[in-house]
Every structure is written in C-alpha cells, then in structure tokens.
C-alpha cells in the first residue's frame, strides 16, 4: 500500500480507495519543462477510446530535447465531452487527445497556457502540445501533469460508504479549498467559467491545493 506523507487531507483521501491509476508513485518528473516531440505508437489492443478512437493500450515516446527521450505505456483513463485522457504508466503524466475538427480544445488550452503565465498557478503543469496524423485523422495531444485525485471521483467513492465525521471533514475541507482557489484566481484576474467537479483536481494528496484540469474556458482580465 502506498504511504503518503501525512496531512489531514491525505489521510482522509486514502480512506476513499483511490483507483490504481491514482496511486502510482511519481517517477522521474520530466527534467525539461517542455517536451520537444511526442509520438503514439501504432497498437490496437483492448479496443479504441470513445472520442479520439485511439488504442486504449499502447506505447508512446516523448522527446525531451538534447537526445533524451522516454517511452511509456499508454492506458486509456477517462473521456470528457470531446477528449480522451490517457495515463502514462509509472509516471505522473497524462495525455489529453482530441480529433482536430472545428474545435481544438487542446490547442485553446495550450495557447492560454503559453500566452497567460498567470493561469499556471491554477492548472496542472503543461509539458507540450503536439499533433499527429493517425489513420485519416489529425489528432492533437496535450501533455500535462496527472493529478492525484479528481473531485468528482472522490465524491463518487464517498457515495459508496456511509457518511462519517472523517468524510464530512474531507468534503468541507475540499469545498473550502476550491472556493479559496477560485477567489485567489479571481483576485489575479482569472475567471474559470467551467469549474464543475469533473474539472477540479487535487494534484498532491498530501496537500489540499486544487487546480482546474480543463481550462479552455478560463478568461483573464486585469
């Protein structure tokens, strides 16, 4: 069992049976801030993902510059409205994939990330934006840090158990943290127009910091 360094939030979170993807230990955090290249390997085991129609399991290779690269097992994690997310096994990376059409949420998020440094305190770390033609489709990829826990998953797990003082404490602490974060963001001129529970993530179980994992609708006014 994974033992996290403690904090009330961490202890409480542990009680809610994080899924196996969530509890993978962080391994080499990329040494470079940005990836230089990203390639998904061909592979069709275990079916295809619902939105981007990519293999649910395969491998991908990330180039980090200066000849360094890393190859990762790629595992379908979850889909949102338009994108599929894939966890890269044995590391804290997540890839969001989307077929490029009229909309390209990955590109919108990348453009916001690069043009507006002020949002970086409120979103997961972003390592790069890439495109690859796969079959007859152009697919965009956003490489981001995988957060330990999405608020929605935590609530889903809570619903399976009876309410206890610990679960209530966790719930209240988390809600307060989300509100504090939104207030801090607003104070910096950042407004998230899409902060429902599926978009709120807690990057590290050991502290209660939260981030918005999908920020295409963030606007910035100062």
Ligand X SMILES: Nc1ncnc2c1ncn2[C@@H]1O[C@H](COP(=O)(O)OP(=O)(O)O)[C@@H](O)[C@H]1O
Binding mask 101-140 for ligand X (x = CB under 6 A): ----x------------------x----------------
Task: Answer yes or no: are the C-beta atoms of 123 and 107 closer than 8 Å.
Answer: no
Check binding of 82 to ligand X (CB under 6 A).
yes
Task: Return the closest-CA partner of residue 157 out of 149, 169, 147, 165.
Answer: 149
**Closer by beta carbon to ligand X, 99 or else 150:** 150
Contact between residue 99 and residue 52 where contact means Cβ atoms under 8 Å apart: yes
Torsion sign (Cα): 212, 90, 47, 52: positive
Query: Measured from the CB atom, is 85 or 192 closer to ligand X?
Result: 85
Choose from ligand X, Mg ion, none: what does 83 bind? Cβ within 5-8 Å by kind: ligand X
214 in contact with ligand X (CB under 6 A): yes
CB of 216 to ligand X, least distance (A): 7
Contact segment (CB under 6 A) with ligand X among 36-44, 58-66, 77-85, 154-162 equals: 77-85
Which residue of 12, 13, 201, 218 would you call a contact of ligand X, by CB under 6 A?
201
Helices (H), 62-219: 105-115, 151-159, 165-187
| Choices 5-13, 29-37, 82-90, 159-167 (CB under 6 A): range interacting with ligand X | 82-90
Residue 120 Cα distances to 5, 36, 97, 127, 177, angstroms: 25, 20, 21, 12, 17
Q: In 66-210, where does DSSP find H-type helix? A: 105-115, 151-159, 165-187
Site string for ligand X, 141-180 (x = CB under 6 A): ---x-xx--x------------------------------
């Amino acid at each position: 069992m994974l033992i996290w360094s403690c904090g009330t939030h961490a202890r409480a979170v542990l009680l809610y049976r994080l899924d196996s993807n969530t509890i993978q230990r962080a391994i080499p955090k990329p040494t470079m801030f940005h990836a230089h290249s990203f390639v998904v390997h061909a592979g069709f085991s275990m079916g295809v993902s619902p939105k981007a129609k990519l293999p649910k399991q395969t491998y991908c290779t990330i180039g980090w510059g200066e000849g360094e690269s890393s190859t990762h097992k790629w595992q379908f994690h979850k889909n949102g409205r338009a994108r599929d997310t894939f966890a890269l096994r044995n590391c804290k990376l997540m890839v969001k994939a989307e077929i490029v059409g009229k909309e390209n949420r990955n590109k919108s998020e990348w453009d916001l990330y690069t043009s507006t440094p002020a949002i970086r305190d409120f979103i997961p770390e972003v390592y790069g934006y890439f495109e690859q033609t796969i079959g007859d489709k152009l697919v965009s990829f956003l490489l981001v840090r995988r957060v330990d826990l999405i608020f929605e998953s935590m609530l889903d797990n809570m619903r399976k158990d009876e309410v206890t003082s610990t679960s209530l404490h966790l719930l209240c602490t988390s809600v307060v943290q989300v509100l504090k974060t939104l207030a801090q963001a607003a104070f910096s001129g950042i407004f998230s127009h899409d902060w429902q529970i599926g978009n709120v993530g807690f990057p590290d179980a050991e502290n209660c910091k939260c981030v918005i994992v999908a920020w295409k609708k963030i606007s910035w006014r100062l």
